Structure 1
């Protein structure tokens, strides 16, 4: 029996799944491991972390290493061709040292590629995936199998419609309200209470005198969503602006490819879409009003997308 393995490798965690090569259905539960972004942990450490978890995964399912034909992983930090090749060489070398078959194929993809692959239903030849979590970006699958992108510029140059952008707009609304440059908002109370601050002027220390990770700021986006659900007009405006910004990604992909139209399926993923119902509703409304596409629930997860890539590669190898 031949098997394939899919991996979704991020900066903080990596998800592993195994399937029979002829079925593409995940066997049992997925396995979680530490982050494998090569730009953070290095290429050698990435390879070592992966092989350790692969051995654990095979032990769980009592599968021999020689039965694994293709291993495909999508990794944050492996989007450039030279980085992908360096990652592939490091992984294949490590796989051989721990006893995998010499003909095992290691495929390295970007995290965006496998997320797009998993999200679009297999029977569809094209579609879009809009992502909003801490950051934001988008990808489109074309009929010829190629991928186009929009966004992904980071919080200083882009990330519009992301958790970070929503939270930053919320914090700005608080200081504008304090200065009487903007309307009052319940965000002031929510933000200060959550951060353990007594007054708005302490936000300067919070933002500038301590090292803040983007995810720390992005986590405050939930307060903007909460305020909007309570009817706060300022928060509601922020949510609607974020929805427009995310819809602009769809428009960007449309402008890049003539084959997209108002009937193109648009899928979504990320914590913002998952947890902010009001934003998701506003985004779908934007798609409809601007005739950008039709929102569809994502078909599968990124790790399932990696398995699909592995299965297609295994099928090609078998036909040769």
Structure 2
């Protein structure tokens, strides 16, 4: 039986969606990370081999009957990564159509059912991606936490730490963020934050502090409100750049908001959506109801 596969290739895990050619689900699986920036070529190649092997074993199908496969992963649409991933998938025995794209396009298709529109991601990192009906693609941001990721959970968390130190020094007005951060990390002194930031914490650890900014904002903290407003402004500017580049100003297209910041901080999602629709009233702001692996499978079906 012919089938398609969609893979959402993350930096900590990957999700696989296997479907019949009529779109009906065969199975869903979770496997190891398949993001080249997080793991490197050899590890990603092995993870793909393991994931596809699990799918064949669980479904009883053969890899030769895979009519099409789509892998969406951060940065995978760049030429070098694109070539490497195609080679890895072919090395697993896939002879059907292979589509490699970034991690945003499957989210767009999962939410809108179309390969046209905009995706804005604000999770640990941030990214804006747009695609028009002619296939023109535009991307803004997504440069990583050391260079960019403005408006992301990491950005919000790091700004909270910086504000806590500035408040502790007396350079800024008092904020509840310092107390909240120390309590969350079970620290007694502000100095304990230094080895945490420089030696221990990863991107996700810093991004996890974004929830404290929301907590402080809900309690009326002005510093927290400023941090969240700055994040909204950054995400809006990224989005506006996409809209202008693809001439979506007067088009009825979907703008998909995805990621933990949009999902867990209502103020950010609400005010971001308001800013977009106030300037571009025809744009429909939505959140995805299906995951990116489902969207990748839909892209695979559309490629046939």
Tell me the CA shift for residue 109 of structure 1. Answer: 2.1
Alignment of structure 1 residues 275-294 onto 2, 5 Å: 275-291=264-280, 293-294=283-284
Residues 262 and 53 from structure 1, CA distance in 2 versus in 1: closer, same or farther, beyond 3 angstroms? closer
2:103 paired with 1:111 = yes
Unaligned runs of 5+ in 2: none
d(CA) in 2 for partners of 1:305, 1:274: 18
* DSSP-derived class of the 2:104 partner: helix
Tell me the CA shift for residue 229 of structure 1. Answer: 1.6
Unaligned runs of 5+ in 1: 315-320
Alignment of structure 1 residues 66-77 onto 2, 5 Å: 66-77=64-75
Tell me the CA shift for residue 78 of structure 1. Answer: 2.1
2:201 matched residue in structure 1? 212
2:245 matched residue in structure 1? 256
2:235 matched residue in structure 1? 246
Which moves more between the two structures, 148-157 or 217-226? Answer: 148-157
2:294 matched residue in structure 1? 304
2:24 matched residue in structure 1? 25
Tell me the CA shift for residue 236 of structure 1. Answer: 1.8
Answer yes or no: is the 8 Å Cα contact 1:4–1:307 preserved in 2: yes
Deviations 1:216-246 (A, max 9, x none): 1111111101111222222122112211211
* DSSP-derived class of the 1:111 partner: coil
Give the TM-score taking structure 1 as reference length: 0.87
1:35 matched residue in structure 2? 33
* DSSP-derived class of the 1:231 partner: coil
Give the TM-score taking structure 2 as reference length: 0.91
Answer yes or no: is the 8 Å Cα contact 1:244–1:286 preserved in 2: no
Structural RMSD (CA): 2.1
* DSSP-derived class of the 1:17 partner: strand
Answer yes or no: is the 8 Å Cα contact 2:107–2:256 preserved in 1: no
Tell me the CA shift for residue 177 of structure 1. Answer: 1.6
Tell me the CA shift for residue 262 of structure 1. Answer: 7.2
Answer yes or no: is the 8 Å Cα contact 2:111–2:286 preserved in 1: no
- Point out the structure with max Rg over C-alpha: 1
Answer yes or no: is the 8 Å Cα contact 1:121–1:299 preserved in 2: no
Match of 1:235 among 221, 224, 243: 224
Deviations 1:158-197 (A, max 9, x none): 2111001111111122122212221212112101111222
Answer yes or no: is the 8 Å Cα contact 1:254–1:261 preserved in 2: no
1:47 matched residue in structure 2? 45
Tell me the CA shift for residue 42 of structure 1. Answer: 3.2
Tell me the CA shift for residue 131 of structure 1. Answer: 0.2
2:25 paired with 1:6 = no
* DSSP-derived class of the 2:6 partner: strand
d(CA) in 1 for partners of 2:189, 2:39: 39
2:83 matched residue in structure 1? 85
d(CA) in 1 for partners of 2:33, 2:200: 21
- 4+ residue stretches of structure 1 with deviation over 4 A? none
Tell me the CA shift for residue 41 of structure 1. Answer: 3.1
Answer yes or no: is the 8 Å Cα contact 1:44–1:90 preserved in 2: no
2:259 paired with 1:273 = no
Residues 94 and 44 from structure 1, CA distance in 2 versus in 1: closer, same or farther, beyond 3 angstroms? farther
